[in-house]
Amino acid sequence: MALHVEYLDHTEASALRLDEVVVKVNRSAAVVKGGRRFSFSALTVVGNRDGVVGFGFSKAKEVPSAVEKSGRDARKHLLRVPRSGTTIPHEVTGRFGSSSVKLIPAAPGTGIIAGSCVRAVLDLAGVKDVLTKAYGSTNAVNLVKAAVDAVSQLRTRERTEELRGVKVE
């Protein structure tokens, strides 16, 4: 897991104009005496497409309520993503559960080569050129959490120098 995750505070987050993408809505059923009782869970990713991204997961009895709650949850968990031009500063692997996501910097013009879950995270973070590979479980929730773990591990050269207290050549 990441050591120095830069989460945004409430005042900073409320000033941002955030886009929202619903990645997955899942229906589950509880069988009761009268039949099936459905409940829904929603996974949402929010970001400003300029270095800030977050995700939220929520459950409710109806789809709109679940989506709204997950959007509110995502706005509470925003983090800053360091970028190097249109790509990421270095290769990184994020893990959550049995899912792993490897992010590899790419040349300008490559685009986001990723599945829908990881693409949502990277697109809303403002990364334009990156190669990705998902290993293990392809569960949408685990992939989004693994992608967020990966981007939280990213460091710029300046930040690395600051943390180590030495000049990196």
Q: Write the CATH number for 48.
A: 3.30.160.20
Q: H/E element holding 8?
A: none
pLDDT at res. 12: 64
pLDDT at res. 70: 95
Residue 110 in domain: yes
pLDDT at res. 138: 92
Instruction: At 149, give phi and psi (nearest 5°).
Output: -60, -40
Cα distance from N-terminal residue to C-terminal residue, the chain: 26
Q: What is the span of the domain harbouring residue 111?
A: 83-163
112-137 tens-digit pLDDT: 999 999 999 999 999 999 999 999 99
pLDDT at res. 144: 95
The reply to whether 87 and 159 lie within a common domain is: yes
The reply to whether 96 and 142 lie within a common domain is: yes
The reply to whether 38 and 98 lie within a common domain is: no
Taking the whole predicted model, whether its pTM rises above 0.85 is answered as yes
Q: Write the CATH number for 104.
A: 3.30.230.10
pLDDT at res. 103: 94
- The answer to whether 80 and 51 have CB atoms below 8 angstroms apart is yes
48-67 tens-digit pLDDT: 999 899 999 999 999 999 99
pLDDT at res. 5: 63
pLDDT at res. 106: 93
Q: Would the pLDDT of 9 be above 70?
A: no
Pick the last residue of a domain from 79, 108, 139. Answer: 79
The reply to whether 99 and 153 lie within a common domain is: yes
pLDDT at res. 2: 43
pLDDT at res. 15: 67
The reply to whether 50 and 111 lie within a common domain is: no
Instruction: At 41, give phi and psi (nearest 5°).
Output: -120, 145
Pick the last residue of a domain from 79, 94, 125. Answer: 79
59-118 tens-digit pLDDT: 999 999 999 999 999 998 899 999 988 999 999 999 999 999 999 999 999 999 999 999
Q: Which residues contact 57 (CB under 8 A, 6 or more apart)?
A: 41, 42, 43, 44, 70, 73, 141
pLDDT at res. 1: 45
